[in-house]
Amino acid sequence: MKKILDPDKETWAAILKRPTQSYASLEPLVAKIFTEIADEGDLAVKKYTKEFDKADLSRLEVDQSAIDHAKDTLSVELKNAIELAKSNIEAFHASQQVLPKKIETAKGVICWQEKRAIEKVGLYIPGGTAPLFSTILMLAVPANIAGCEEVVMCTPCDAEGNIHPAVLYTADLCGIKKIFKVGGIQAIAAMTFGTESIPQVYKIFGPGNQYVTVAKQMAMKFGVTIDLPAGPSELLVYADDSANASFMAADLLSQAEHGVDSQVVLVCRSMEKLGEIEKELDEQLKKLPRKDIATKAIENSKLIYCSSEKDAIDLINLYAPEHLILSTTDNARIIPMIKNAGSVFVGNYSPESAGDYASGTNHTLPTNGYARNFSGVNLEAFQKTVSFQEISKEGLVQIGTAIELMAEAEGLFAHKNAVTLRLDSISDNTKN
């Protein structure tokens, strides 16, 4: 990792640059695949699945026999762990439900909002270098609580057309009935347009690599919305002398092992602690099964010393990390200063892994600085808000003249007339 000491603010943007390709550089390939899948459906999906995943598929949908086999394959201990995580995620997301609240904005004018589930949602579950079955819980659980009527899941298969049993078990546990062995750009395109096998959806959820992120952005051009731009994983640790060096190093490596384009950053107020964490990183890295991936990610990562707390906080908010760990002597005071982050982990005993799996919060989060203007996935992401209003005769009398004046000032006389006719009717009835 590159070590940087008290960098000037003019250099922050360059220092914090993510190791990702630009949208423009990936768009031509994504657009080409989208066009082919829109025109050729399953045929094009199978073509690109063979090209990218080396799987020659005759059928895209997962057979029930594969799901049944997955149930028998997993250990009882892992099943119990998945069910524990599911229970905590359900509790956290169920707490986000909002009941309608009616407001009388003027006498006789009642306004309120109600939530409606998005009817058809697509879940993208990454599986390129690791079977991220935890992501199914993060997406399917709130989809179920919201009441989404149709849930479609796409996830990459291996060269033999198999999906990891934990992925299939978790999907079945969450009640997903439509599971497809398709990943990457072709999965996002298939859910965008619909094919002979894969249903079209209204909104697509789930993290992925740079290609998947650009594909999701492309989907919005065709009337399908997305949860958020969620690309390669990233983590920023903010530490002082109170931080446990081995814990912080483990957290940094936990994100570095996701992929070669992941990025981790340490912002430290103590040179001594920075040195301890750096030493721990080197020692722990040697023992990781995925050390080759983590090593490449570490090359894109930074160790930054800041003598000023204000500079440290400003730098964190500029970076807007997907995951932020606060390990300082005064976390409670610092929390209100954090403006931009996807998910925050407070204290030495709050590992980022807890949020990835079983604490209950959602791990589908904005990356690449999008935490400045996007929230992570939550229950509301699977819902729309519909506004209602009910106006009595008295209510229309209260606000009618204002509406007429405003409509006339905008030159929209049909708008004015819709109110005038009603007011005249009320006046005539009153006289009679």
Tokens of 204: 């697509």
CB 240 within 8 A of CB 273: yes
Closest CA to 37 of 204, 157, 200, 240: 200
CB atoms within 10 A of CB 201: 25
The kind and range of the H/E element at 343 are strand 343-346
Q: Please work out, in degrees rounded to the nearest 5, the angle formed at the alpha carbon of residue 136 by the alpha carbons of 362 and 346.
A: 20
Closest CA to 248 of 165, 168, 350, 329: 350
Is 258 a known ligand-binding residue?
yes
Is 284 a known ligand-binding residue?
no
Is 356 a known ligand-binding residue?
yes
Rounded CA-CA distance 282/125 in Å is: 31
The kind and range of the H/E element at 113 are strand 109-117
Rounded CA-CA distance 57/182 in Å is: 10
Rounded CA-CA distance 180/163 in Å is: 10
Is 217 a known ligand-binding residue?
no
**Catalytic residue numbers?**
322-323
Cα-based distances in Å from 369 to 209, 229, 340, 358, 415? 15, 10, 8, 25, 43
Is 255 a known ligand-binding residue?
yes
Is 323 a known ligand-binding residue?
yes
CB 120 within 8 A of CB 150: yes
Q: Where are the beta strands (DSSP E) in 258-338?
A: 263-268, 302-305, 323-327
Is 370 a known ligand-binding residue?
no
Closest CA to 343 of 331, 335, 354, 355: 355
Pairing between β-strand 109-117 and β-strand 383-391 as defined by DSSP bridges: antiparallel
**CA 115 centroid distance within chain:** 20
Cα-based distances in Å from 372 to 105, 139, 293, 340, 363? 33, 22, 28, 5, 17
CB 209 within 8 A of CB 259: yes
Is 209 a known ligand-binding residue?
yes
Residue 421 — φ and ψ, nearest 5°?
-60, -40
What residue numbers does the annotated binding site for Zn(2+) cover? Answer: 255, 258, 356, 415
What residue numbers does the annotated binding site for NAD(+) cover? Answer: 124, 186, 209
What residue numbers does the annotated binding site cover? Answer: 124, 186, 209, 233, 255, 258, 323, 356, 410, 415
What residue numbers does the annotated binding site for substrate cover? Answer: 233, 255, 258, 323, 356, 410, 415
